[in-house]
Amino acid sequence: MSTATLDVHEVPTGSRVNYLNAQYGVKSWLLTTDHKRIALLYLFSITLMFFVGGTFAVLMRLHLIEPQGALVQPETYNKLFTMHGVIMVFFFLVPSIPATLGNFLVPMMIGARDLAFPRLNLLSWYIYIIGAIFTLYAVISGGVDTGWTFYTPYSSSFSHTSVIPTALGVFITGFSSILTGLNFVVTIHKMRAPGLTWFRLPLFIWAIYATSIIFILGTPVIAITLFLLGLERLLHIGIFDPAIGGDPILFQHLFWFYSHPAVYIMILPGMGVMSELITCFSRKRIFGYSFVAFSSLSIAVISFLVWGHHMFVTGQSIYAGLTFSVLSFMVAIPSAVKVFNWTATLYKGSISYDAPMLYALGFIGLFTMGGLTGFFLASLATDVHLNGTYFIVAHFHYIMVGGAVMAYLGGIHFWWPKITGRLYPDGWARFAALVIFVGFNLTFFPQFMLGYLGMPRRYAVYPSEFQVLNVMSSAGASILGIGYLIPLIYLTWSMRYGPTAGPNPWGAKGLEWTTPSPPPTENFEEIPVVTEDAYDYAHSTVTRG
């Protein structure tokens, strides 16, 4: 065992030049324009942010073990949930799959040597880092307590915390999303390999394309909104605060016009990953390719028209409520179509239970729960009761953690051998998937019940009848936290000690698997010519290796 490990360690990966060993030194990383290296820069940064945000979550759950609060003062608790939300949404979930897997895979999947604008791509990462520095500065300088939603007039006229640095961080990092989206759209339009028509593209590309459209169209709105918030807070120009002539509800319209589509920025790429995983581990063509592809686009379009469902109880007109309710039901249909098609893809397949597939199955289950509980909130009569309670918290964590994070981890496990050229211990990976699934449900399922019972969210202390369910949730959170640490450990371990991976360890289709692992800097020695549809497992022999 130890000698085997030693062997692997001593033999350099294939002894050939790849993107990882082509150049050495900090400068070669910080000035790289290679999309694969930039993907790794993002991977490192967002992993850091994930664990910062996760630490806040663990502290919150610990605090809530007791009704009167076990750990911190209410002011501190308010800062914890705010920083958790800001960091997880803007600095982890939004960039997660697009900026890491998307950056790595878009050129490789379409047979290109890099993105259309490699230097712009590096600039996106620097903008992200500058935004992150501002926000982390806000954490260190005392934190911010407005909630990640920055609702006015609390955020503009009342909060005494670091609102401006936080908002500035979010404002700045938005430009990184816009540039990344632009880069992907141009690349997907202009740089596909010969023969790779739109309907031969892997569905991951369709999902990233739909996400990029939201990046480009939606992100400027949050930038404008936060800019206006800054104007009001610094210069007291009355925009949102009624005391100086503004309208606080206007802020919510603007905020959710971006932030609802942003939910789909977080989940669409995950859906793209799912299509890749399900096909590979069942060795089947995706069932209903065009339905899955177009459902991504219709989600992207409809997602811009449902923002008002966050505001059913603000006193908006009944008729506006009805309109937003019907549109919110509509956006559920394409998601349901995807779930049915993934399930049907398994039919008569050859299904293996490798770790990425377990994450994928976890995704389907949790995403289905998350989506269906959305019906409770799209339904006006029940939303009135559930809005602003723990039901909301549970619902969106099922989508964003159960869905998006599961898909992200599934994707990381799937392409890890390609990215690093190393294999990770499969047993540990499956074990971690199980721990995460159990921990997740234990954390968030009780929150549905808490919400229905009427416990409002963002409460630092709570009536004691809610304690049992809160303790269950906190217990789940500690399991979930351990579940996330396990992959961090074995994936880091595998980078140095994992067995060397061949070009295609899963026997997967797709251009990225035709290259050596890790790929050379230029990706393909010769630009491939594509002659077959995506996921055409039936017409070729598959071999793992």
Partner 1 sequence: MIGLAKFGSTFLSSVIQAPQLRPEAASSIAEGVDHLYFVLTFITLFFTIAIFSTIFFFMVKYRRRAENEVPPDTEENLPLELAWTIIPTLICAGLFLWASSLYFENSRPPSASTEIFVIGKQWMWHIQHPEGVREINELHVPEGVPVKLTMTSEDVIHDFYIPAFRVKKDVVPGRYSSLWFQATKAGTYHLFCAQYCGADHAEMLGWVYVMSPADYETWLASGTPSETMEKTGEKIFNKLGCSSCHQPDGTGRGPSLVGDYGKEEDLKSGEKRLVDEAFIRQAIINPNSVVLKNYPPIMPTFRGQINEEQVLQLIAYVKSLASEERNSNGK
| Nearer of residues 180 and 282 to partner 1, judged by Cβ | 282
CA–CA separation, 399 vs 406, rounded Å? 10
d(CA 188, CA 115): 9
Q: How far is the CB of 334 from partner 1 (least distance, A)?
A: 9
Nearer to partner 1, 108 or 460 (CB): 460
Contact between residue 460 and residue 491 where contact means Cβ atoms under 8 Å apart = no
Coil, helix or strand for 500?
A: strand
Nearer to partner 1, 289 or 444 (CB): 289
Examine residue 410 and tell whether it contacts partner 1 (CB under 8 A). Answer: no
- Residue 390 C-beta: closest distance to partner 1, Å: 11
Nearer residue to partner 1 within complex by CB, 2 or 540: 540
Site membership for partner 1, residue 283 (CB under 8 A)? yes
| Nearest to 483, CA basis, from 79, 57, 69, 5 | 57
Rounded CA gap, 346 and 260, in Å? 31
Q: Which is nearer to partner 1, 188 or 460 (CB)?
A: 460
Could you tell me if 310 and 263 are in contact, meaning their C-beta atoms sit under 8 angstroms apart?
Answer: no
Q: From 116-124, 213-221, 421-429, 456-464, give the range in contact with partner 1 by CB under 8 A.
A: 456-464
Question: Interacting stretch for partner 1, rule CB under 8 A, among 86-94, 118-126, 434-442, 454-462?
Answer: 454-462
545 touches partner 1 (CB under 8 A): no
Taking CB under 8 A as the criterion, the residue among 91, 440, 462, 506 binding partner 1 is 462
Q: Does 27 bind partner 1 (CB under 8 A)?
A: no
Should residue 352 be labelled a site residue for partner 1 when binding is judged by CB under 8 A?
yes
Q: What's the min distance (Å) between Cβ of 44 and partner 1?
A: 33
Q: Mention every residue, 6+ apart, whose C-beta is less than 8 A from residue 526.
A: none
| Cα–Cα distance, 288 to 333 (Å, whole number) | 15
Q: Which residues pair with 167 in a beta bridge?
A: none
The answer to the question of residue 153 lying near partner 1 (CB under 8 A) is yes
Question: Segment near partner 1 (CB under 8 A), from 25-33, 103-111, 268-276, 382-390?
Answer: 382-390
Taking CA atoms, 497 is separated from 4, 173, 386, 416, 503, in Å, by 10, 35, 49, 14, 18
Asked whether the beta carbons of 219 and 174 are under 8 A apart, the reply is yes
DSSP character string of 395-415: HHHIIIIIIIIHHHHHHHHHH
- Alpha carbons 335 and 372: distance in angstroms, whole number: 10
CB of 153 to partner 1, least distance (A): 6
- CA dist 441 and 156 (Å) reads 36
Q: Select the residue interacting with partner 1 from 78, 162, 177, 219 (CB under 8 A).
A: 78
Interface with partner 1 by CB under 8 A: which range of 52-60, 130-138, 261-269, 276-284? Answer: 276-284
Instruction: Pick one of 51, 117, 340, 445: the residue that binds partner 1 (CB under 8 A).
Output: 340
* Minimum separation from the CB atom of position 285 to partner 1 (A): 6
Question: What's the rounded Cα separation, in Å, for the pair 301 and 393?
Answer: 25
If one asks whether residue 538 binds partner 1 (CB under 8 A), the answer comes out as yes
Residues 186-245 that bind partner 1 (CB under 8 A): 241-243, 245
Residues 256-275 that bind partner 1 (CB under 8 A): none
